Amino acid sequence: MKVLALGGAGDMGRMAVAVLLDSPSVTSVTVADINSELINIFVEMVDSPKLSPVQIDITDKKKLIDLISSHDVVINTVGPFFKFEIPILEAVIEAKKPFLDICDDWKPTLDALEFDEKAKEAGITAVIGIGASPGITNIMGVYACSKLDEVDELITAWGMDIDIKAGKKPKYYIKPEKLKKKLGKSERKPNAALMHLLYETIEKIPIYKDGKMIEIEPLTEVEPFDLPGYKSMYACIIGHPEPITLPRTIKAKSVSNVMYIGETATEATRKYSQKIKDKELTIEEATLALAKEYAELTESAFKDKSILEQYVGGPPTLSVLAIGKKDGKRKKVGIALGREPFGEMAGVTSVPLGIATIMLIEGKITQKGVLTPEEAFKDNPMEFFDKLAPYCGKNLTGKDVLIDREEDL
């Protein structure tokens, strides 16, 4: 199968490409980007006969459709998704090619779901948001809820784990610092993940509460996140696709997405979010400033034990809580990813994208239309984690990488 990787030379894309190049089911990968220097150097560094570059401006719809049409499957890591999700989805539907991405913005997710019938008419599968959160969290949510007869509340969550165990670097993965050194220049560009975080804090966000969708202020403080077996963490609501997609698959009364990065880091996020709202800073300027403050906070944390204590003993980076009933008794089920792929954010985000792409190629995902991660893997979530496990450590299975704890209430 010939795979087209839109944005495949970027920080997230390189990891997905590394996963795909290692699969015998993938015969070739074309890395597409507007930056010809970047993709040419990346392809040269990887040095795989399967990999080739192509320069394209994805806003040129005709050229994009022509390029998509010459491939069997398309993956997309081009952000921001509020700008590019729908134009790219429209192009793959017109070209009638299967599609997967890591969209983590709730607004374009809602828009993408409106294309379900068009995707079905085109006879294609389009899996959106198959990254870390959304992605891993959604599938863990399915698994957690399968352990209950009734679900009152489902919370997907992500935070900061200072001591997570990770797997080995994939053979074809190029580290960011190596690529920057080869390019011979270092641009001071805003971190895409932090920009996304701030973007999700400047307008009201949707959550599913008592059987209906409501809007609340982002960064609203909630009850501490209490994953069984771990220290309770300061938490706040953050905008993400999980609360708008999971109720379509799981019968839960309430679904929300929370962030636990510590009270100090959360206050810094609030500060720069407000500066954007007050038009004191652009989102790009605020992202650069927040990244600097986060770095200073991290440095201080290893010098000041009172700061470090906010994180020691807290849950892993990705986790979910399902609260409800089992055999008539109130229970809390906590599921977390106890081992991660190599590459930090790139690993937990784009290894799932690569795995899901291979599973689609191998006929493991057959449903047509626009699918969320929980829809794609609702029948056998553990199959996904069994595929993820080898990237988290040698001789591991899905059961080995998931922390699975229950507690009576």
Phi-psi category of 291—alpha, beta or left, where left has phi over 0 and alpha has psi -120 to 50? alpha
Q: Residue 326 corresponds to which amino acid?
A: K
User: Mind listing the pLDDT tens digit for each residue in 201-255?
Assistant: 999 999 999 999 999 999 999 999 999 999 999 999 999 999 999 999 999 999 9
Instruction: Report whether pLDDT(187) > 60.
Output: no
DSSP state letter for 246 = G
The Cα 8–Cα 147 span in angstroms is 37
The Cα 68–Cα 126 span in angstroms is 14
Determine the pLDDT at residue 89. Answer: 98
The Cα 96–Cα 90 span in angstroms is 10
Determine the pLDDT at residue 186. Answer: 58
Please give the domain boundaries of the chain with CATH numbers for all domains: 2-132+341-391 (3.40.50.720), 136-338 (3.30.360)
DSSP state letter for 20 = H
User: What SS3 state is found at 153?
Assistant: strand
Instruction: Report whether pLDDT(42) > 70.
Output: yes
Determine the pLDDT at residue 117. Answer: 98
Instruction: Report whether pLDDT(185) > 70.
Output: no
CA angle 34, 40, 41 (to 5 degrees): 120
Q: Write out the two tokens for 78.
A: 């081009």
- Do residues 103 and 241 touch, judged by C-beta distance below 8 A? yes
Determine the pLDDT at residue 107. Answer: 95
Mean pLDDT of 351-366: 97
Instruction: Report whether pLDDT(62) > 60.
Output: yes
For the ranges 158-167, 250-259, 303-312, 354-363, the lowest mean pLDDT is seen at 303-312
Helices 283-301 and 192-199: angle between axes, nearest 10 degrees? 110
How confident is residue 64, by pLDDT bands cut at 50, 70 and 90? very high
Nearest CA to 217 out of 238, 193, 233, 196 is that of: 238
User: Mind listing the pLDDT tens digit for each residue in 319-345?
Assistant: 999 999 999 999 999 999 999 999 999
User: Mind listing the pLDDT tens digit for each residue in 113-165?
Assistant: 999 999 999 999 999 999 999 999 999 999 999 999 999 999 999 998 877 89
The Cα 400–Cα 409 span in angstroms is 26
Rounded mean pLDDT of the chain? 94
- Torsion 362-240-267-274 (CA) sign: positive
Determine the pLDDT at residue 309. Answer: 74
- DSSP lists the bridge partners of residue 331 as 324, 408
- DSSP lists the bridge partners of residue 213 as 208
Determine the pLDDT at residue 313. Answer: 85
Q: Write out the two tokens for 209.
A: 């509460």
User: Mind listing the pLDDT tens digit for each residue in 275-289?
Assistant: 999 999 999 999 999
